[in-house]
Every structure is written in C-alpha cells, then in structure tokens.
Amino acid sequence: MTLRLVELDSENLPAVVRIPPAVGEKAYVAPVVFSIAEAYVTPTAWPRAIVDDDEVVGFVMANWDPDNEIEAFRGGIWRLNVAEAAKGRGIGRFAVEQVADEARRRGYERITVLWDPAPDGPEQFYLRVGFRPGGELFGETVGVLAL
Ligand SMILES: CC(C)(COP(=O)(O)OP(=O)(O)OC[C@H]1O[C@@H](n2cnc3c(N)ncnc32)[C@H](O)[C@@H]1OP(=O)(O)O)[C@@H](O)C(=O)NCCC(=O)NCCS
C-alpha cells in the first residue's frame, strides 16, 4: 500500500463522492458530497482524498480554525469516511496520523474530533488510534489527541 492524502480535483472527485454513505442513508458520518459543499463555504476546511497508489480509498476533512470560540472546533478531524472495501486495513489510522502531522506543522498541541457514542459508532476506532474522551458537545463525545 502506498497511501497519500491529496487535494480534491476534477479527476478524483467522481470516486470521492461515491464513498459511502449515500445521501439519505443512515450513518454516523455525513455523505462526502455534503462535506465538500461545507468545505466550499468554510475557508478553514481542509478536505483531502485518501489514495492508495491512484485508487481513492477514503475521504478526510480537517478544520483549522485556531480562533474559534468553541475549543473543540479549533483544529482536528471534521469528517472521515473510508470506502467499504478498504475498511480494516489501517486507512483510517493513516488519515488520523496525517491530520496530526499537519496539525503539528501548524503549531497545534492537540487535535479534536466529535463522535456519536453509540455502541456501533466509530468510538472504538478513535480510542484505538489514541483519542481520549474530553467532554461532550451537542450529545457527542469530544475526543482529544495530544500531539
Ligand atoms: C471508523 C472508520 C473511519 C475506521 O477506518 P478503518 O480504515 O477501517 O480503520 P483502521 O483499519 O485504520 O483501524 C485502526 C484501528 O482501529 C480498530 N478499529 C477500527 N474500526 C473499529 C471498530 N468499529 N471497532 C473496534 N475497533 C475498530 C482497528 O481494529 C485498528 O486497530 P489496530 O490498529 O489495533 O489493528 C471506518 O470504519 C469508517 O469510515 N466508518 C464509517 C464512517 C465513520 O463512522 N466515520 C467516523 C465518524 S467522523
């Protein structure tokens, strides 16, 4: 596997928007097409395709907004979607590490993520890759990863 994060472009966009969930599907993360729309109107958003060689295997969106009045929104993972066939191969972990590296380059000492605490949600993944529960916001758990 040769994993990389790359900026979205007209070539990878069709594969990126096909990553689950589909619009209308019940899930713990928004459809990628919604995230890209949010990125379009959010200058601090940092959307990236996760590619293995040239194949799109996921999507991650960070947000870098150090002056946000809500601490949990100052910097970290906003969205993370791994393609169904690519799950369980370390791609989610890779994306978290890449966002953490980018945060270090920007001078952050911690990143955050919000997750739904439901038993079949992504909590175990985030705990496994090093996040620790650090509060609650809008009914979700605020996860904190010290860098
Ligand atoms: C959650 C998600 C991002 C994980 O991605 P992934 O590429 O399958 O995860 P990885 O293979 O990198 O797993 C990293 C570690 O977490 C563990 N893990 C991953 N999903 C897990 C789960 N559901 N329960 C328990 N452990 C889990 C893996 O076993 C692995 O542990 P290891 O390093 O000890 O082997 C992916 O399943 C996904 O896209 N889910 C749907 C969308 C979602 O919930 N996104 C997050 C909300 S923002």
Residue-wise pLDDT for 54-84, tens only, equals 999 999 999 999 999 999 999 999 999 999 9
Domain assignment of residue 96, given as a range: 3-109
Q: Whose CA is nearest to atom 19 of ligand 1?
A: 125
- For residue 126, the ligand 1 atom closest to its alpha carbon is 16
- Where residue 87 sits, what CATH number does that domain have? 3.40.630.30
The chain-wide mean pLDDT, for the chain, equals: 97
Confirm whether 140 is domain-assigned: no
> If you measure from the C-alpha of residue 3 to the centroid of ligand 1, how many angstroms do you get, rounded to a whole number?
16
> If you measure from the C-alpha of residue 114 to the centroid of ligand 1, how many angstroms do you get, rounded to a whole number?
15
* Percent of the chain whose predicted confidence (pLDDT) is above 90: 99
User: In total, how many domains does the chain have?
Assistant: 1
As a whole number of angstroms, the distance between CA 131 and CA 146 comes to: 8
> If you measure from the C-alpha of residue 25 to the centroid of ligand 1, how many angstroms do you get, rounded to a whole number?
19
Confirm whether 118 is domain-assigned: no
